[in-house]
Amino acid sequence: MIGEISTPRPAYAVEAQGLVKAFGDFHAVNGIDIAVPAGSIYGVLGPNGAGKTTLLRTLLGIIDPDEGWRTLLGDPQPLRQSHHVGYLPEERGLYPSMKAFDAIAFMGALRGLPLRIGRERARAMLEAHGMGASADKPIRQLSKGMAQTVQLFGTIVHQPRLIVLDEPFSGLDAINQGKLEALIREQARSGVTVLFSTHVIAHAERLCERIAIVAGGRINFEGSVATARGRLRPQVMLRTRASDGPWRHALPAETLAQDGAWHFALPDGGIEPLLRALLDGEAGIESLSIERPGLHDAFVAIAGEAVARQMEEDRAREDAA
Amino acid sequence: MKDMLRAAFVIARRDFTAVILTRTFLFFLLGPLFPIMIGMAFGGLGEKISQDSLRPAAGLSMPPAETARMLEAREGIARRIGADHISALKAASWPADPRRLLADSDAGYVAVVSGTVDRPVLTGPPADIARLEGDIRLIASAAKTRAILIEVHVERHPVMQSASGQAQARLTTGRGAQILIFLLTMLLAGMVLSNMVEEKNNKVIEILAAAVPIDAVFLGKLMAMLSMSFIGILFWGGCAMAAMGALVGPGFTLPAPAVGWPVFILLAVLYFAMAYCLLGSLFLSIGAQAATVREVQTLNMPVTMAQMAVFFFATYAVDHMGSAPEIAAVLFPLSSPFAMIARAAQDGAIWPHVLALLWQAMWVGLIIRMGVWLFRRHVLNSGARRSLFRRRATPPV
């Protein structure tokens, strides 16, 4: 039975150490260590060309690494676990003349799902997502978004234990992005591990428990989103009626005055000593906010301004397309 | 292995239905019948030409009495040995310049016999003179004696076969089977060249490569194309049987091969499958390297030439059973099926065929492996850059 657990589940759905993959002189993956906990939603974050796709293809066994090792569901030969894995590649691929339900069943059959069951599930999935009328249409007659949905269903029709999605939000409109996020959460709730790559920080921030920030074929950060954000201290924004006074000495040295407000990182001793100084010095507090840094800020701090800017450009280019 | 065969079957089923359930497959089935029908029509026309007055003849430009003697002698000989075996003669104007008669395109003489029965003169192009000289000498000799040789009755003692005749007949059967298998392989295996281009162009290859071993993709595609070929062969074979039933009389029999017809037909099917898989796996490997249909089209010609070379090698070897070239043709994997079917026609031993089929199957596997290795390395950009003998790094236990 597909999706049935016949072997003990490893702690990590995906694990790799010292992965290196070079194309000529270019090192697309350059010494990556990664461990994706079973049952988690894990994001690989990085700009285009960072090595995300090569990393995923290497982890899945489509290509072999030049150095290092990897295991997929505990198996050092990833293709042996193919029945328990679903993969949505970045470049979508379907046979244009195949009917939608048949394409889904075919993808399931490739991963060991009997064709009859695949066809039944395909029709049910299409029906449940309001695409029942398109089930018997050839792929070439479907819109790009519908074809992508068909391929996504083909990725999960055999009820895999691990789903790998390469840039899954690419090319989807906001509504379909929302549907895909819901689907990823639904899969994770049922115990499936979801590993996906993206260059859109917001998706990773909303979905992921853990992330790996990749740039230049290396992982600059690996850990939980909270840890990434915790790398930066919370930011304080203070507005006072008085512009000067003895309380100014209580502000941290790196405080910036901008747009009529004081901006600084939360001091190590907390906000209370500062509050006391402000009150005693009659600064006249108009507003005071303490904001935890977002993943974007953490990303900038970890990967650098240039990489963050490239990701923004990638996203803008994609939106324009 | 079981998983790989299952995956190959899934791919084969997809490819098979994708081809069979199209209108173009009907054209594929009917396509080879058109040239055969045209050939039969022209064949019938040729037969008509050979039977009627349109057949090229030598003109007789002799005095009327001499012409009558020559024509009478020719008719007498034709009755004995058959009209097809003696040159046709036609009365021409007399007296006339033979060169002028030959220049007259309406008359249609290939040569002109002038002079007399005692001293005939043959005028015509050197090749026609060489071809007709013996016949004209025979006809003139018969005309001169005014009698054909006295006919002696031959008593008939029919036997089933003679050793020499049987060997010749089996050689013919072997050659026929060789040509048939070659034509079918050439007609059908070439299609495999472009088989991977579709998957590469529509990016499905990424889905396949992530789900199943590339070996299964190659094997599945071969299985699909071979199945499709068998459907074609069944259809064309059925048409051929029907045509033979209609055109050939009930007494017609083909010379039996050494292994007997049932085994020979089974071996022909198996050797076709092997020839198809050997060439198909090679074409698949070559075609899989091509990025576009244009590249595949460019590859077509050299591939066809290579096929021809292999076939000529096997054809040469069939005449020399047991010789070094024949053994080489049997051992060389691509010519082996052609050489072995000819062997089956001439030699009754079965065990060489079992060995040959195993040998050929092993080569199909090797060629697929090589093709997969090239595909992974050059198309998927896979394959680690480590030494062949260095062990792959494995996770700590």
Interchain contact, A63 vs B392, CB within 8 Å: no
pLDDT-based confidence at A2, cuts 50/70/90? very low
The CATH class for the domain spanning B56-145 reads alpha beta
Residues A261, A158 share a domain: no
* B 79-138 → A contacts, CB under 8 A: none
pLDDT at residue number B16:
92
A68 touches chain B (CB under 8 A): yes
Share of chain B above pLDDT 90, in %: 29
Residues A221, A146 share a domain: yes
pLDDT-based confidence at A43, cuts 50/70/90? very high
List Cα–Cα distances, B34 to B40, B41, B112, B235, B338, in angstroms.
10, 11, 41, 14, 26
**Could you tell me where the DSSP H helices lie in chain B?**
2-20, 23-30, 33-51, 64-81, 98-103, 126-145, 163-189, 195-201, 204-211, 214-247, 261-289, 293-318, 324-331, 336-346, 351-374
Interchain contact, A15 vs B383, CB within 8 Å: no
Q: Which residues in chain A have their CB less than 8 angstroms from residue B392's CB?
A: 64, 69
Interchain contact, A68 vs B385, CB within 8 Å: no
**pLDDT per residue as tens digits for the range B356-369:** 999 999 999 999 99
pLDDT at residue number A99:
94
Least reliable range by pLDDT among A101-110, B111-120, B159-168, B342-351: B159-168
Query: Tell me, what amino acid is at A313?
Result: E
- Edge to edge, the sheet with strand A26-37 lists A26-37, A12-23, A67-72
* pLDDT surpassing 50 at residue A222: yes
- Contact (CB, 8 A) for B318 and B171: yes
Residues A109, A258 share a domain: no
**pLDDT per residue as tens digits for the range A240-275:** 988 888 888 888 888 888 888 999 888 888 888 888
Closest Cα in chain A, distance from residue B22 (Å): 10
Average pLDDT (A119-147) is 92
Q: At A207, list the tokens.
A: 């979905």
Domain boundary at A229, A258, A275, which? Answer: A229
Residues A203, A79 share a domain: yes
Phi, psi of B258 (to 5 degrees): -65, -35
In this complex, the residue of B203, B204, B382 whose CB is nearest that of residue A63 is B382
B377 touches chain A (CB under 8 A): no
Residues A101, A64 share a domain: yes
Residue A266 lies in a domain: yes
Interchain CB contacts (distance < 8 Å): A and B: 90
Closest Cα in chain A, distance from residue B18 (Å): 8
- Edge to edge, the sheet with strand B57-60 lists B89-91, B57-60, B109-115, B120-123
Residues A217, A80 share a domain: yes
Q: Which residues in chain A have their CB less than 8 angstroms from residue B198's CB?
A: 95
Interchain contact, A107 vs B207, CB within 8 Å: yes
Domain range enclosing A135: 12-229
- Contact (CB, 8 A) for B202 and A96: yes
* Chain B residue with minimum CA distance to A83: B211
CATH of the domain at A143: 3.40.50.300
Least reliable range by pLDDT among A107-121, B34-48, B208-222, B299-313: B34-48
Residues A267, A172 share a domain: no
pLDDT at residue number A44:
92
In this complex, the residue of A17, A22, A93 whose CB is nearest that of residue B207 is A93
Q: Domain coordinates of chain B in residue numbers?
A: 2-31+164-379, 56-145
Least reliable range by pLDDT among A300-304, B139-143, B332-336: A300-304
* B 40-59 → A contacts, CB under 8 A: none
**pLDDT per residue as tens digits for the range A223-242:** 888 787 777 788 889 999 88
Residues A151, A265 share a domain: no
Q: What is the 3-state secondary structure (H, E, C) of A66-81?
A: CEEEEEECCECCHHHH
pLDDT at residue number B19:
85
Residues A188, A206 share a domain: yes
Interchain contact, B203 vs A91, CB within 8 Å: yes
Q: At B168, list the tokens.
A: 């010749």
Residues A50, A175 share a domain: yes
pLDDT at residue number A189:
93
Q: Which residues in chain A have their CB less than 8 angstroms from residue B376's CB?
A: 63-64
* pLDDT surpassing 90 at residue B293: no
A46 touches chain B (CB under 8 A): no
Mutate to test the interface with B, among A32, A62, A162 (most CBs of B within 10 A): A62
Least reliable range by pLDDT among A285-299, B230-244, B353-367: A285-299
DSSP result, A97-137? TSBHHHHHHHHHHHTT--HHHHHHHHHHHHHHTT-GGGTTS
Average pLDDT (B104-133) is 89
Residue with tokens 């990016």: B203
Ranges of beta strands (E only) in A184-320 are 193-198, 210-215, 218-224, 235-240, 256-258, 261-265, 285-291
Residues A150, A260 share a domain: no
Burial class (CB in 10 A: 0-12, 13-18, 19+), A72: buried
Mutate to test the interface with A, among B3, B195, B206, B215 (most CBs of A within 10 A): B206
Residue with tokens 């978004």: A145
Whole-angstrom Cα distance, residue B273 to residue B185? 9
Residue A43 lies in a domain: yes
* pLDDT surpassing 80 at residue B3: yes
Helices first, then strands: H and E counts in chain A = 10, 13
| DSSP summary character for residue B377 | I
Average pLDDT (B60-84) is 88
**pLDDT per residue as tens digits for the range A166-220:** 988 887 888 888 888 999 999 999 999 999 998 888 888 888 889 898 888 888 8
Q: At B27, list the tokens.
A: 């054209």
Whole-angstrom Cα distance, residue A210 to residue A193? 12
- Contact (CB, 8 A) for B43 and B244: no
Residue A100 lies in a domain: yes
* pLDDT surpassing 50 at residue B243: yes
* pLDDT surpassing 60 at residue B276: yes
In this complex, the residue of B7, B11, B207 whose CB is nearest that of residue A89 is B207
- Number of structural domains, chain A? 2
Q: What is the 3-state secondary structure (H, E, C) of A146-196?
A: HHHHHHHHHHHCCCCCEEEEECCCCCCCHHHHHHHHHHHHHHHHCCCEEEE
Interchain contact, A79 vs B212, CB within 8 Å: yes
* pLDDT surpassing 90 at residue A122: yes
Average pLDDT (A25-44) is 91
Residue A198 lies in a domain: yes
Closest Cα in chain B, distance from residue A92 (Å): 7
Residues A144, A183 share a domain: yes
In this complex, the residue of A64, A93, A111 whose CB is nearest that of residue B202 is A93
Residue A223 lies in a domain: yes
Provide the 10 A C-beta neighbour count for residue A112: 20
**pLDDT per residue as tens digits for the range A308-321:** 777 777 767 766 66
Q: At B216, list the tokens.
A: 């299964």
